[in-house]
Amino acid sequence: MTMIPRAAFVAAALAMSASAAQAGDIEAGASAFQSQCQNCHNVIDSEGEVLAGRPNVRTGPNLYGVVGRQAGTEDFRYGGSLVEAGEAGLVWDTENMVPYLLDPNTFLRDTLDNRRARSQMSFRVRDDATAENIIAFLAQFGAVEDAEEEAAADS
Ligand code: HEC
């Protein structure tokens, strides 16, 4: 797949970035994304290029650049709880996305300290390792542009 050189480049860029996702196995994450996430999500960049999943999937928001993004800010009809969490300062990173993926409702209840909070994502990942792998896979998308911007800013 065309993703491999891109992934190698991003892996190098991520290695230099302290805030980036570590731990996860990108290849395992790619196959877990395929079997568990892409029925509802895809990854499409700002030019409309489909980087993961299928083009016309809109059950869940586009996950391009999701690691590092404020929660609930894509062009998507989110549930109120997720938008509220984003407005309260929730920015997705490896640490918070793992518990979100394991149990979105409980995560939003804890984050908002409101037991009525609800997620509209009715899916759970079964274990931490799978969640970490998927996050490592997703963290590739968006980082290329960021790395290029940084390089441009430095020159
Ligand atoms: C059955 C459909 C479905 C599946 C399967 C699913 N999601 Fe979701 N996902 C959603 C919906 C719907 C939302 C919006 C949730 C809300 O508004 O509360 C969402 C939201 C999210 C968000 C928050 C995005 C944002 O912009 O804040 C992330 C991250 C996410 N999903 C990741 C995943 C990953 C990774 C997988 C695979 C392990 C997955 N989802 C599987 C439907 C799904």
Domain of 116, CATH number, reads 1.10.760.10
Q: In this structure, are residues 139 and 17 in contact, taking their beta carbons and an 8 Å threshold?
A: no
* Residue from 38, 123, 128 to probe ligand 1 pocket by mutation (most atoms less than 8 Å from CB): 123
Question: Domain range for residue 46?
Answer: 24-154
17 found inside a domain:
no
Closest ligand 1 atom to 83 CA: 17
Encode the chain (155 residues) as per-residue pLDDT tens digits: 545 555 565 555 555 444 444 578 999 999 999 999 999 999 999 999 999 999 999 999 999 999 999 999 999 999 999 999 999 999 999 999 999 999 999 999 999 999 999 999 999 999 999 999 999 999 999 865 556 667 777 76
- Which amino acid, 109? R
Whether ligand 1 lies within 6 angstroms of the CB of 96 is answered as: no
SS3 readout for 75-103: CCCCCHHHHHHHHCCCECCHHHHHHHHHC
DSSP assignment letter at 45: -
88 found inside a domain:
yes
Total domains, the chain? 1
16 found inside a domain:
no
106 found inside a domain:
yes
- For tokens 């991003």, name the residue: 10
